[in-house]
Structures are given as structure tokens and as C-alpha cells.
A and B are shown apart, each in its own frame.
Chain A
């Protein structure tokens, strides 16, 4: 049976009215959707940020090996070759002390020029020659560093003055990333279960309330489609309201967090700006909210609709 436009409008109207008629039941449904989506949203933000942090760290993880001043070109090339054949090493680049000074000058910018003034010529340059080593797998950084350092044991000249890499922050970061991911999953699985329970409970209560109503509608000669539509609209709207509240709360909280972290430059800069993720996260949560709402209301009437 084709639905007339009038009946379509009627279903829309009834769906909206029903939210108000059901009062506290609607509030309960919206609340359970808000809780579930909020948990999910927090988790998504967490994962996105941790991943971004890990990515940033990935691109940063290099090992710097500074050479002793007594290392000549021949020895340097031997050491370079030896490091280059390590399986974990992607590339190795030699940075002479002049280049090192140039890099340093650049990174200091115009204001820092004065500071370095006296050190820039060849004789006064205090920097050592160094290798910049990039590894294939970021997690192997500490191992590579150690291997490079132990070259001092094979060469009596002890060519390596010092090996530097993130000084422990890399290990810590990977540790944290691992924990956040694991704990995050457990956390979300648990809370997800709880919210499923919450939603299905809300549905169960509604089933009871609606069974009688639906049987009355059928006695008057309403088709299943006719009965279903307003519930469908109601479910979608409840989901939409719930997800709008969630998205609002989530974004507000996130920007507050951003504000609070502004004092700490490294932390606030490592947080992904809201402007980069709001449309994706917002869209996802709105869509999910409506799907949950529709699913819930469909579940709550399905049994009662059976003839």
C-alpha cells in the first residue's frame, strides 16, 4: 500500500508527539544513548590522540651517535658501514660538525644568531661530528642505540663519544601507548556491555508498555507498517537528540581540556585540534545514535507486531 503524503506527515507528527507523551521513558532512552555514545566518543578521541602521538614519535625517533674528536675519515667510514648493515637501520647520515652548526643556527632563528656568534667558524666550533641513524621499526630504537654504543668494544679507538635518542621518552611513550590501547579496550568493552544492558533494559520496559497499545491499534485495523512508522520516527529522533547532547558534551569537554593544557606547550600541542576531527567524529556519533535509536524502537515493537 502506498502511503499518502498526509499519512507520512501524520507519522512524523505522531513520532514527535510520542516522545513527549512517553515523558520519562523518553528521558531514560535518551540517557542510555548519551552514556553509550559518550563512552565511545571518549575512547575514539583517546585512540586518535594516542595514534597521532605515536605517529609524531615515529617520525622523530632517530638515534644520534656523536663521534669522538680523534676519529679520522677512514675509521668513520668503517663505523658508518658497520652501522648501515644492522638489520634494524633504515638509513644513516653523516653530519659533520659544520653541518651540525648550520642546523643549530637555523633552529635558533634570527634572534639566536648572537648567541652562537663566536662559535661558528671552523676552529671554534665545539660540536662533534655525528651520525643520524633512522631505524625501520621505532620500537627498536633503544636496541640500536645500545648496539651502536657497544661498537666501542670492537674498536680500540672507542670512536663513539655518546649515543642519544629521546632519552627514555621513547620507551615511555610506547609503554603508555600500549597501556592506553589495552586498558582502553577493556574499559570500553566493559562500559559498552553496561550500556547495551541499559539500552536493552529500556527496550524491555517499552515492550511491555507498548504491547497493549499495539494490540489495540491492530484491533482498529492498523497495518503493521502504519504502526511501525511513528515508532521508527520516534526512535530516530531519540537517537538524534541523544547523539546531539553527546557530541555537544564531548566537544565542550575536549576544548576545555585544550584550554586547560595551554600552559603546557608540549601537551597542548600534542592534542589533535578539534577543528581537524569534529566533522568526522560528530558525523559518526550522530549516525550511530540514530541507528541505535531506530534499532531500539524496532526491537521494542517487533514482538508485539507478530499476528
Chain B
């Protein structure tokens, strides 16, 4: 495996207990610093593809390595340590509701036992980067959808992960806010973080051209550099 590969899948299959075959023989390599869109119809296997990367699911067959770790063979005890090098962003933000914006971001650093002083500095730094320094003391319920997603992104990048997995990050946002979020992700990518983003947003994919991987019926049917969305939905 080359040192530039952040994610590599080799003939990955995933079936669920209910009999659904979510992925059927997927092989792909994603290099350091790439920005990849994952597109395709609902239920085609995009989410499974993403979940396998951050070890929410285990492949039925095949091998996945992320940052050089064989993810499928990972002992449950080791999972937290691998996740610390992967930032995740979701459509529904997934912030801890009772914590403030600051505390939500800081949580990711407390987990790796960062010294307090260093943590305060870094959290304010990323809050600055996502433009929410002044709203650090607010709880998620007091923030707009776009702001909550910014906090989620701040949390995802605070520990300088090598890769960010974003599952429909703009799915709950209006077009204008979506563009703001995309600018932010682009900036993060520019600073050296690999981004894998599942999306249904045709507009974004076609305007902000990046590598496009299309999944249909559990298989990769298209993999284009600077590709386009390619669907009508």
C-alpha cells in the first residue's frame, strides 16, 4: 500500500441480517488530500460505504484500511483510537444537546486527554475558523442549522484528523447556507485534510468540481476526476 492512500477498499461486500446486499465487491483508493463526492440513488449503498470507513459497520467480506489500519479486523477496544483520526459530519449534526458549542468541540479533545491550556487555545482557533467564536457559549438549540453544522465541522477537525467523512452535510440546509458549508469544507481540504462526502446536491457537485464516485446497487458504476453529478434527482 502506497503511503499516499488514506482509504483503500479491496473487494468489499456488505450484507445486512435482513438480507439486503448493500455493497457488492467495491474496490477503491482514496489518496491523501483528495476531495471525493459519493453520489447515487437512495439505498444504493452510499451510507454503508461511509459507515464502513469510520467503523460503524464491519464488511462481510473484503478488506478496508484507513490510515493504515485494517478496519475490518479491528478489536472493539481499538475502535475509539482509530476514530480519533477520522472526523465525521452528518446531515443531522449530532451535537450533544446539553453542551455549549465550545463544550461540544472541546469534548473531542478531552477524549484524547489534551492539556487544558492547549485545548482552550485550539478550540477557540477552530471556532474562529468556522466563524462562530462569539457563539461559543450557546447550546445547539440556540443556533441555526448552518451554525450547528459549523460546530459539528469544528468538532470534526479539532484534532487534525487525516480524513473527514461527511454524510449529506448539506441535507438539512438551505442553498445559501449549503454553499457556506461547502466553502468551509473546501478550505479544510485545501489545508490538507482528505474529504469524503456523500451528497444528493446536484448543484454543488456540478459547480464545485471534484472527484465523483457513483454507487448503484452496491457497486461503483462511475469514478471520475472532476466529475459531474450525473442524475436528475
Q: How large is the interface on A (under 10, 10 to 19, 20 to 34, 35 or more residues)?
A: 10 to 19
Q: Which of B91-145 contact A (CB under 8 A)?
A: 94-99, 107-108, 110-113, 115-116
B89 smallest CB distance to A (angstroms): 10
Most buried by B among A21, A22, A221: A221
Which residues of the other chain, B, contact A222 by a CB distance below 8 angstroms? 80, 107, 111
Residues A221 and B84 in contact, CB atoms below 8 Å apart: yes
- B233 contact set on A, CB distance < 8 A: none
Q: How many A-B residue pairs have CB under 8 A?
A: 52
| Residue of A7, A21, A213, A222 with most partner-chain B CB within 10 A | A222
A162 CB, min distance to chain B CBs, angstroms: 78
B108, A221: Cβ atoms under 8 Å?
yes
Q: Do residues A220 and B79 form an inter-chain contact, with CB atoms below 8 A?
A: no
Contact in complex: A216, B83 (CB < 8 Å): no
| Assembled-state Cα–Cα distance A222/B106 (Å) | 12
Complex-state Cα separation, A7 to B112, whole angstroms: 9
Near B by CB (< 8 A), chain A positions 267-307 give 307
Q: Interface range on chain B: under 10, 10 to 19, 20 to 34, or 35 or more?
A: 20 to 34
In the complex, chain B residues whose CB is within 8 Å of the CB of A218: 79-80, 83
- Measured between beta carbons, the chain B residues less than 8 angstroms from A21 are 98-99
- Contacting B at CB under 8 A, from A190-242, are 213, 216-223, 226
Contact with B111, one of A6, A22, A220 (Cβ below 8 angstroms): A220
Q: Which residues of A contact B84 (CB under 8 A)?
A: 220-221
Most buried by B among A18, A213, A219, A226: A219
Taking CB atoms, residues of chain A closer than 8 Å to B54 are 219
Nearest CB on B from A280, distance (A): 39
| Chain A residues, Cβ within 8 Å of B99 | 21
Instruction: Determine if A4 is an interface residue (Cβ-Cβ < 8 Å).
Output: yes
Taking a contact as CB atoms closer than 8 A, the residue among B77, B83, B97 that contacts A221 in the complex is: B83
B113 A223 Cβ-Cβ under 8 A:
no
Q: Does B155 contact A (CB under 8 A)?
A: yes
* Least CB separation from B116: chain A residue: A6
Kindly identify, within residues 1 to 16 of chain A, every residue whose CB is under 8 Å from any CB belonging to chain B.
Answer: 4, 6-7, 10
Tell me how far the C-beta of B200 lies from the nearest C-beta in chain A, rounded to whole angstroms.
22
Measured CB to CB, the closest approach of chain A to B146, in angstroms, equals: 19
A189 CB to nearest chain B CB (Å): 38
Which residues of the partner chain B approach A4 to less than 8 Å between Cβ atoms?
113
Nearest CB in chain A to that of B98: its residue: A21
B98–A22 touching, CB < 8 Å: yes
Residues of A within 8 A of B (CB): 4, 6-7, 10, 18, 21-22, 213, 216-223, 226, 307
Q: A218-B83, A220-B155, A222-B80 are in contact. List 7 more A-B contacts (CB 8 A).
A: A6-B116, A216-B94, A218-B79, A219-B88, A220-B88, A221-B80, A221-B83
The 8 closest A-B pairs by CB, nearest first: A221-B84, A221-B83, A21-B98, A307-B76, A223-B80, A222-B111, A220-B108, A221-B80
Q: 20 interchain pairs (CB within 8 A)? A: A4-B113, A6-B115, A6-B116, A7-B113, A22-B98, A217-B111, A218-B83, A219-B54, A219-B56, A219-B83, A220-B83, A220-B88, A220-B107, A220-B111, A220-B155, A221-B81, A221-B111, A223-B77, A223-B80, A226-B111
